Amino acid sequence: ETGVTQTPRHLVMGMTNKKSLKCEQHLGHNAMYWYKQSAKKPLELMFVYNFKEQTENNSVPSRFSPECPNSSHLFLHLHTLQPEDSALYLCASSQEGGSYEQFFGPGTRLTVL
């Protein structure tokens, strides 16, 4: 595997389900990010982890819970989501947080029924 990978690529879940999105980067980076891309809206930053420590939470509802066990892996745990949470969830990584270039994974297309 190279670059940034994300699983699953597609996910359909009910509002009462609990699921997790997984991201793995193979670039030797130390910062990882979750972004949300909804139709008609700009890409929105959700969370930032730099050297495994969360450095940004962009006022994300608590039904989204991130986890970063090490610099290569990032998870987004989902529970009791709403239909308006349906979107493309993108993971990115960079050498460190800040001015470094960020590289995106392919994304997980989430549909909440």
Partner 1 sequence: QKEVEQNSGPLSVPEGAIASLNCTYSDRGSQSFFWYRQYSGKSPELIMSIYSNGDKEDGRFTAQLNKASQYVSLLIRDSQPSDSATYLCAVKRTGADGLTFGKGTHLIIQP
Q: Which residues bind partner 1 (CB under 8 A)?
A: 31, 33, 35, 40-45, 48, 50, 55-56, 58, 88, 90, 97-99, 101-107
Q: In terms of CB distance, is 13 or 45 closer to partner 1?
A: 45
Q: How far is the CB of 84 from partner 1 (least distance, A)?
A: 18
Q: In terms of CB distance, is 32 or 78 closer to partner 1?
A: 32
Q: How far is the CB of 105 from partner 1 (least distance, A)?
A: 6
CA-closest candidate to residue 48, choices 91, 86, 8: 91
Q: How far is the CB of 3 from partner 1 (least distance, A)?
A: 10
Distance (Å, whole) CA 90 – CA 108: 7
Buried b (16+ CB within 10 A) or exposed e, 3-28: ebebeeeebebeeeeebebbbbbeee
Q: How far is the CB of 26 from partner 1 (least distance, A)?
A: 16
Distance (Å, whole) CA 2 – CA 27: 7
